[in-house]
Structure 1
Amino acid sequence: MKKLLLITGIVLGLSACSAPREPQLTIAPNPTISNVPIAQGKSLTVESRDLRTAQFVAVVDNGRKNVQPIQATSNLRVVLENALSRQLSSQGFKVGTDSPNTVRLDVLDALVKVEHSMLSHNMVTNVQIQLVAENASTKFVKRYSGKATSEGASSVSTEEMEVALNSLLEAVLQDIAQDKQLNTFLNENF
């Protein structure tokens, strides 16, 4: 009886290991790190919200009503909040939790859409982020967005989708880092 239980446990364990897993994308954009600080220790708190209607980061349409949504391996909102915090810290801001000054990152869109046909693919990547910087007396709101498209003769791998989304997220983070209006507002009001 013990041998039977042992064999059953091994078979169940091996079958769980060999079960097919749904693909996921690793989202890890690199922030724009500043070599020259623009702020001298001004404090702020970084917050974020995910305002997307669906939580997947990619959707693959293979035709014939076969649409597959793909999730991220980690929470996109948290990944972007951490990247923005590192970016602002490199610019000389003191990022903490008890500041009256807040910078909130709202994720409005972050999606890779892939359409496959028999011999080709079309990939469209969209990112839209809203930044809200505020304290008790003033507020700054601005949207940053990006779009990238690519076509090819073969199917698209999850790695290619990851590169497309991470590259676009990095471009949007770079736009935020280099935004003179935002930097002026933060320096004058925080």
Structure 2
Amino acid sequence: MKPIKWLTTGMLALSLTACASYYPIAVDVSPTVEASAGVYRGQSVSLSSQDGRKNDYVIQIEQKDKAPVVVGASNNLKVQMEQALAQGLSNQGAFIENGARTQVTLELQEVLARVIRGHISYDVVQQLRVQLTLQRDGRTITKQYRRSAQAEFPGRLHPELDKVKEALNEQLSLLVKDMLADRDVQQFIGGN
């Protein structure tokens, strides 16, 4: 009886490994920045970031009667988002420097694209949430930004993770754009 149990356990582990090995362990996540110039007149901003997500993966592939497969980011997502925000603020005319009076903290709270298998296609459901905290001279404002999107991609066997990655990058880029376009943020940074 014991050899059969051992053999069954081994076969199950091998089959799970075979399914998981089809997907990469990580994808390149890199938001792009679009920001209009002339918003700030050389105000200095100190920028930092933190990752408060519950999980460190960015894609979760869900198939019926199978354990989910997770895929991480090949680069540091927190750093990517901080760099994108810094580039956008610089494009708008702010100076990014350590020790500036105005401190901006970006916190990642949720970045996940769930890939849900159907019969002849798969749905990609994205949930993104970040928080921006701005502080200066004892004043603080905190802003929450959320993005959610759903798309359906054709595919019978395995989802194409390049399409999922592109969709995720697009939503992350829109999230950065939302922060840069926020009038409350602009007034806080612009006010001396």
Q: CA deviation at 1:63?
A: 1.7
How far off its partner does 1:140 sit? 1.2
Q: Give the distance between the partners of 1:147 and 1:20, measured in 2 at CA.
A: 27
SS in 1 for 2:163: helix
Partners of 2:68 and 2:121 in 1: how far apart?
A: 16
Indicate if the aligned counterparts of 1:122 and 1:152 stay in contact, CA closer than 8 A.
yes
- Pick aligned residue for 2:164 from 151, 161, 166: 161
Partners of 2:102 and 2:189 within 8 A in 1? no
Structure 1 residue 61 corresponds to structure 2 residue 62: yes
Are positions 1:25 and 2:27 aligned together? yes
Q: Name the residue aligned to 1:179.
A: 182
Equivalent residue, structure 2, for 1:74 = 75
Deviation, structure 1 residue 153 = 3.3
Aligned to 2:51: 50
Residue aligning to 1:122: 123
Say if 1:56 and 1:86 are closer, same or farther in 2 by CA, change over 3 A.
same
The answer to whether residue 105 in structure 2 is matched with residue 107 in structure 1 is no
- Where do 5+ consecutive residues of structure 1 fail to align? 1-18
Q: Report the alpha carbon displacement of residue 145 of structure 1 after superposing the two structures with TM.
A: 0.9
| Contact 1:49–1:105, Cα closer than 8 Å, also in 2 | yes
Cα separation, 2, equivalents of 1:26 and 1:49: 19
**Residue 20 of structure 1: how far off its partner (Å):** 7.4
SS of 2:191's equivalent? helix
Q: Is this contact kept in 1: 2:60–2:114, CA < 8 A?
A: yes
Aligned-partner residue type, residue 147 of structure 1: S
What 5-or-longer segments of structure 2 have no aligned partner? 1-20
Contact 1:121 1:152 survives alignment (8 Å):
yes
Give the aligned residue type for 1:121: Y
Identity over the aligned pairs, expressed in percent?
24
What's the C-alpha RMSD, in Å, of the aligned pairs?
A: 1.7
Structure 1 stretches of 4+ with a deviation exceeding 6 A read none
Is residue 25–residue 162 contact of structure 1 (8 Å, CA) maintained in 2?
A: yes
Give the match for residue 5 of structure 1.
none
Aligned length: 170
TM-score, L = length of structure 2: 0.83
Q: Secondary structure at the match of 2:115?
A: strand
Q: TM-score, normalised by structure 1?
A: 0.84
Separation (CA, whole Å) in 2 of partners of 1:37 and 1:73: 34
Specify whether residues 20 and 119 from structure 1 end up closer, same or farther in structure 2 by C-alpha distance, changes over 3 A only. closer
Q: Alignment partner of 1:166: what SS?
A: helix
